Amino acid sequence: MSEGSWSERLMGGFRKTSDKLTQNITGLVTKSRLDEDQLDEIEEALIVSDLGPQMAGKVRARLSEGRFERGLDEDGLREIVGEEIAKSLRTVAEPLDIIAFPRPQVILVIGVNGSGKTTTIAKLAHLFQEQDYGVMLAAGDTFRAAAIGQLKIWAERLGIPIISGKEGGDAAGIVFDAVKQATATGIDVLIVDTAGRLQNKRELMDELSKIRRVLGRLNPASPHDVVLVLDATNGQNALSQIETFKEVAGVTGLVMTKLDGTARGGILVAAAEKFGLPIHAIGVGETIDDLRPFDPEYLAHVIAGGAK
């Protein structure tokens, strides 16, 4: 996919937030000093525009400190919103670097069914291949035969090894075999799919704890990353998922998927403000090269309505 095409689809993913922001702030600001009623209106407009209460509060504080001698119009407000968003997103923009020694670096990928988890694993594998790393997959979501089959198809397409077992098998045993084989064959990155059954938190927690214990016996630093895949179309529900998976799995970073024309990209800002977890990458579309690094400056520009 061309850079321009990908960029257009990304902008589409944030258009709902940007358009909603436009709708909510139009006509709100005109005076040289904003009064409390106006500040309340602006804060409420930002909250309902999916940016979250923390970001809305920061913008309000910035506005209340300033005296705008020539008034503050919509473009001026957008500029301030964009600056505050960029400031927040810069703190969480962090690529998923392969730095583990000894190898392999083990990345557990978690997320609810339907979040785009399996496809994101394939995209991550492709991204690491492009950086000349040796990659292996482990099909640790043994509760769904479809997940195992889908991951095998992606491994075959990418030409990378995969360790898998039968449906209902022992996920920790599969991970153990994968680490052993990855170590023996000089693999740099082992990406492990895991079950996403949030309806039974205790069972999922027990399974992930078992995987962690097995990995810890092989390498005390493993797993090196626990990446949560989030579907941006879930909006505020995505924040609940972060909360739950932090408790259940010890999430270390995020990948946001499905940032196309149906998504509200402002949820990225709310997640950054509430949790402060690294955001490694974002995805638009279904093709293998649709996963891109998280660019806080550009995304702040688009969300605030600076890109048309």
Q: Return the closest-CA partner of residue 272 out of 96, 100, 113, 91.
A: 91
Q: What whole-number distance in Å separates Cα of residue 300 and Cα of residue 87?
A: 9
197 known member of a binding site: yes
Question: Is residue 183 a known part of a binding site?
Answer: no
The answer to the question of whether 116 is labelled as a binding residue is yes
Whether residue 194 is annotated as binding a ligand: the answer is yes
Q: Is 118 annotated as a binding residue?
A: yes
Does 295 belong to an annotated binding site? no
Residue 185 in marked binding region: no
From residue 7, alpha-carbon distances to 14, 34, 196, 300 in Å are: 11, 36, 30, 14
196 is in an annotated binding site: yes
Cis amide linkage into residue 53, ω under 30° from 0: no
Is residue 237 part of an annotated ligand binding site? no
- Residue 117 assigned ligand-binding role: yes
DSSP helix/strand/coil, 146: helix
- Tell whether residue 32 is among the known ligand binding residues: no
To the question of whether residue 22 is assigned a binding role by annotation, the answer is no
| Residues near 20 by beta carbon (within 8 Å), at least 6 away in sequence | 48, 49, 50, 264, 266
Q: Are 136 and 189 in contact (CB under 8 A)?
A: yes
Distance (Å, whole) CA 295 – CA 287: 20
Which residues belong to the annotated binding site for GTP? 111-118, 193-197, 257-260
Which residues belong to the annotated binding site? 111-118, 193-197, 257-260
